[in-house]
Copies of this chain bind each other. A is one copy, B any other.
Amino acid sequence: MLTVEATDGQARSGRFETSHGTVETPAFMPVGTRATVRALDVHDLRAAGAGIVLSNTYHLMLRPGADVIEAAGGLHRFMAWDGPILTDSGGYQIFSLQPRITEDGAAFRSVYDGSSVHLSPEGAVAVQESLGPDIAMVLDVCIGLPAGRPAVEAAMERTLRWAERSLAAHRRPDQLLFGIVQGGVDDELRARSARATADLGFPGFGIGGLSVGEDASDRNRALSAAVAELPIDKPRYVMGLGDTEGVLDAVARGADMFDCVLPTRLARHGKALTSVGDFNIRRAEFIGSNEPLDPACACLTCTTYERGYLRHLVATGELLAHRLMSIHNLTFTLGVLSAARAAIIAGTFDAYRAAHLAGRGFVDIDGTATMP
């Protein structure tokens, strides 16, 4: 159950309990694909402000195997993170592998060794019960957009049937199992999926199949259609969304949780998200610069190093670059969520959102423009 603590328009701040502590919302979950947020240790994650992290069932079931993690004491002990963990079900990864889908489940090949793997809705529940996250996700049928309405509807309907089977298979009382709303960017399908998934009685809801290349306006409309049918007292998690503009759009529509590889993936390519805009530190203008990466940031990277040094690390392919840039981009993203939460409580969310967007006028992450 999510306790709503404050609302500001449709935006809301809240909290809910898990076996490893409270999740304060709105919340961004850094993605630790293989039980590690790339290049960061768990102390880095805490320092960046992470309260809950995500890991990936698909990858963990293949390497090192859910049985190995279970025998080692579960995912929390394995990755040394004692706070809340959410695992996705693997649906999104599996559907990028052109799986063979039947009503029973998905058959696909391992990216690690090419072996054949079959995952049913019940199997995804069992794997996640072995892994032991605080929040597990049902296996859903993901579909690339754009797609015709019949295909989107069929995927949504099958996701519903799989959700029901998942719920029936779920055993661990210390683990929350979230349903997933599908329906593409079709308002009516989104509403129907949300209503039916809510009726199944899940303690929380993923909103899947968005942030896959659709227009922001389509995404926002579909999101609003889904949120309108979801219960007020349960968390709503927009899967795969992580750019701060998109996240604030979704928060404004009543969404509570987010995850995305974007902040850390951009970091590993030298791309900084900052209070003065987004830019690639590799650009020649940063050679020898004595400025901090983001003058408004208090992270280890910004308080220890200068842009000229970071530029050197990125340009020479040094390993330290990945960690330093990731620490900053995560601190930035988590800071936006934290500030949004404070603004909702203060009743100033719209003003905060407008100021955030205005302050980041300079966005030229791949480009050649000169900073203002």
| Interfacial chain B residues near A68, Cβ < 8 Å | 287-288, 308, 312
Cα A43 to Cα B304 with chains together (Å):
9
Interface residues of A in 293-344 (CB under 8 A from B): 300, 304-306, 308-309, 311-313, 315-316, 318-320, 322-324
Cα A80 to Cα B306 with chains together (Å):
8
| Interfacial chain B residues near A289, Cβ < 8 Å | 72
Which among B34, B42, B312, B322 is the interface contact of A63 at CB below 8 angstroms? B312
Does A64 contact B288, Cβ atoms closer than 8 Å? yes
Q: Does A4 contact B (CB under 8 A)?
A: no
Does A304 contact B42, Cβ atoms closer than 8 Å? yes
Closest to A78 in B: B309
Does A316 contact B72, Cβ atoms closer than 8 Å? no
Does B41 contact A318, Cβ atoms closer than 8 Å? no
Closest to A62 in B: B316
| Interfacial chain B residues near A319, Cβ < 8 Å | 38-39, 319, 322-323
| Interfacial chain B residues near A322, Cβ < 8 Å | 319
Q: A304-B41, A320-B39 are in contact. Are A79 and B290 (CB under 8 A)?
A: no
Does B287 contact A64, Cβ atoms closer than 8 Å? yes
| Interfacial chain B residues near A72, Cβ < 8 Å | 288-290, 306, 308-309
Question: A43, A63, A315, A319: which has the most chain B beta carbons within 10 Å?
Answer: A319
Q: How far is the CB of A59 from chain B (nearest CB, A)?
A: 8
Cα A15 to Cα B342 with chains together (Å):
53
Q: Does A35 contact B (CB under 8 A)?
A: yes
Does A320 contact B41, Cβ atoms closer than 8 Å? yes
Q: Does A73 contact B (CB under 8 A)?
A: yes
Does A318 contact B38, Cβ atoms closer than 8 Å? yes
Q: Does A71 contact B (CB under 8 A)?
A: yes
Does B73 contact A313, Cβ atoms closer than 8 Å? no
Counting every copy of the chain, the complex holds 2
Q: Does A175 contact B (CB under 8 A)?
A: no
Q: How far is the CB of A300 from chain B (nearest CB, A)?
A: 7
Q: A43-B304, A64-B312, A300-B41 are in contact. Are A36 and B318 (CB under 8 A)?
A: yes
Q: Does A345 contact B (CB under 8 A)?
A: no
Closest to A326 in B: B319
Does B80 contact A309, Cβ atoms closer than 8 Å? yes
Closest to A309 in B: B78
Does B288 contact A36, Cβ atoms closer than 8 Å? no
Q: Does A40 contact B (CB under 8 A)?
A: yes
Cα A304 to Cα B46 with chains together (Å):
13
Q: How far is the CB of A109 from chain B (nearest CB, A)?
A: 17
Chain B proximity mask over A269-291: 1 for CB below 8 Å, otherwise 0: 00000000000000000011110
Closest to A327 in B: B41
| Interfacial chain B residues near A311, Cβ < 8 Å | 64
Q: How far is the CB of A286 from chain B (nearest CB, A)?
A: 10
Q: How far is the CB of A95 from chain B (nearest CB, A)?
A: 22
Complex A-B, nearest 10 residue pairs according to Cβ-Cβ distance, in ascending order: A39-B319, A72-B288, A68-B288, A64-B312, A36-B320, A72-B308, A80-B304, A36-B318, A71-B288, A38-B319
Q: What would 24 A/B residue contacts be, using CB atoms closer than 8 Å?
A: A36-B313, A38-B320, A39-B320, A40-B320, A42-B304, A43-B300, A63-B312, A63-B316, A64-B287, A64-B288, A64-B308, A68-B288, A72-B289, A72-B290, A72-B306, A72-B308, A77-B290, A77-B306, A78-B312, A79-B309, A80-B304, A80-B305, A80-B309, A319-B322
Task: Give A residues with C-beta under 8 Å from B.
Answer: 34-36, 38-43, 63-64, 68-69, 71-73, 77-80, 287-290, 300, 304-306, 308-309, 311-313, 315-316, 318-320, 322-324
